[in-house]
Amino acid sequence: MVISKIEEVHWVSILDIQEKSYQEIGTEDLAVLKSKNDASPGTCFVCVSDHGEVLGYVLAHPWSGITPPKLFEPLPNIAHCEYLYLHDMAITPRAKGNGIGRAAALKLIEIAKKQGIDKISLVAVQGSDRFWSLIGFQEVQGVNACVSYGDKAVLMEKVLSE
């Protein structure tokens, strides 16, 4: 598997993986997804098999404030970055259980540390909070995620400067 930057040819696969992954909360339009990559192409990437198949993707971008960005809306301009927000990480269902999600998460953490970022935040959806806790993310107490993230949404963060 190779981790590489997102190219135009990858978006069809990203949309397909998103559709298969988010049955409970729905999917975002291509323009919305691209707005994340446009804001921070250095923290967005795809995981590609040795045969050229996109197995998963990560879309992460700078963010500020405790409230996560809204789903289904293009990313607004961000004047000040407090941390990196992991907007979306999805792995194609047929590749789950092969360590791709863990590898992608660890790659993002590595990239963030190299950029001097102190914290990554995310909203765990569809019961994925257990996975994220195994990577070292902790639930942010007293803050609810936007309703658009679904009933099981959990705001989590990982401090990188420890």
Domain ranges, residue 34:
2-159
Tell me the three state secondary structure of residue 91. strand
pLDDT at residue 108, rounded to an integer? 97
CATH assignment at residue 6:
3.40.630.30
Q: What percent of the chain has pLDDT over 70?
A: 94
Q: What's the structural domain count of the chain? A: 1
pLDDT at residue 78, rounded to an integer? 75
Largest CA distance in the chain: 45
* Radius of gyration for the chain, computed over Cα atoms and rounded to the nearest angstrom: 15
pLDDT at residue 38, rounded to an integer? 94
20-74, pLDDT tens digit by residue? 998 877 889 999 999 999 999 999 999 999 999 999 999 999 998 888 888 888 8
71-115, pLDDT tens digit by residue? 888 888 776 788 999 999 999 998 888 999 999 999 999 999 999
